[in-house]
Amino acid sequence: MPFKLPFPDKKPFSFYNVKIPHTLRAMVLAPHPDDFDAICVTMKMLKENGNPISVMVLTSGASGVEDGYKDADSKKEKAQLREKEQTQSCNFFGLPARRLQFYNLTEDENGHPIENEENREKIHDAMQEFAPDMVFLPHGNDTNDGHRRIFSIVKKLSEMENNRFIMFLNKDAKTVSMRLDVFTPYNEEKAVWKARMLKFHDSQQQRNLHVRNRGFDERVIGVDRDTAAGLGILLPYAEAFEIEGC
C-alpha cells in the first residue's frame, strides 16, 4: 500500500505546507530532455530538504531540434546535442551525475516513445532500481504524444505496484486541463534562476524564438505566471501539480 503524506484537507495547497520526510525518494520521469527543468523550483525545494532525486530522460528529443542547428542534421547528432544540454543544466542544478540517466526508449517516426512491452520494461526496471516514493512527470491530458504515452505507461505500472508511489503530474505549456492539487510558489529571484536552467536547452530556446517569437524560458515561466495569477497568491509564479495514487 502507498505511504501517506500529511496533505492539507483543503486543495489546492502549497508544497511548503507539507512536511515531507527527507528520506523519501523522488524520481523525475522526463519524456524529453528539459521536462525536468520545467519543475526545477520544486526539485530544488526537495533537494534542499535532503530528498534523493533521480532524473530519467526517456527519449532523445532529437525531433525537437531544427535541421542545421549547430550543424546537426542526423538524429544521432541532434540527440547528442540535447543530451549535452540536459547534462549541463543538471550540473548547474547540482544533481549528482549518477542520478541522471538517458534511456532512449524506442520511438515512432515522429520521435515519440512507443507504448510497448520493451519500453514498459525499461521504465519498470529503472523504477525498481531507484525505488521512488514520489514520481514526477507531465500530466497525461496533454497535446504532446510523448507526455500522454509516458503517463499511460507509468499509470499502468502504478496500478501493478498497488499504487506504491505517489504521482505528481505537472502542468506544462501543452497541458489541456488538470486538477490543481498542489503548487510550488516562487519569487522573481527564483524565476531568474529557473530561466538560467531553461536556457541551457539552447536548441529549444532558438526553436521557440523562430517558431513562437518568444524564448523557451519565457514560455515555461509564462505558464507558472498564469498559474500564480489564477491562484491569486502573493508570489508571482507557481509550478502546479495534480496528485494521483494517494
**What digits encode the pLDDT tens for the residues 69-82?**
999 999 999 999 99
- Residue whose cell numbers read 504532446: 144
Answer whether residue 245 shows pLDDT above 90: no
The fraction of the chain above a pLDDT of 90, given in percent, is 91
Instruction: Please state the φ and ψ torsions of residue 113, each to the nearest 5 degrees.
Output: -65, 140
How far is residue 246's CA from residue 244's CA, in Å, rounded to a whole number? 6
Answer whether residue 11 shows pLDDT above 60: yes
At a CB cut-off of 8 Å and minimum separation 6, what does 64 contact? 32, 82, 111, 203, 204, 207
Q: What is the dihedral of CA 103, 105, 109, 115, to 10 degrees?
A: -150
How far is residue 205's CA from residue 169's CA, in Å, rounded to a whole number? 24
Fill in the amino acid letter for 123: I
Question: How would DSSP label each residue in 91-143?
Answer: HHHT--GGGEEE----B-TTSPBP-SHHHHHHHHHHHHHH--SEEEEE-SSBS
Q: What's residue 160's pLDDT?
A: 86
Fill in the amino acid letter for 35: D
Can you tell me the mean pLDDT for 125-138? Answer: 95
Q: Which residue has the higher pLDDT, 68 or 4?
A: 68
pLDDT tens profile 142-188: 999 999 999 999 999 998 877 789 999 999 999 999 999 999 999 99
The fraction of the chain above a pLDDT of 70, given in percent, is 98
pLDDT tens profile 13-33: 999 999 999 999 999 999 999
* pTM reported for the whole predicted model: 0.96
Cell of 237: 509564479
By CB atoms closer than 10 A (0-12, 13-18, 19+), residue 6 is: exposed
Q: What's residue 1's pLDDT?
A: 47
Q: What's residue 163's pLDDT?
A: 73
Q: What's residue 4's pLDDT?
A: 73
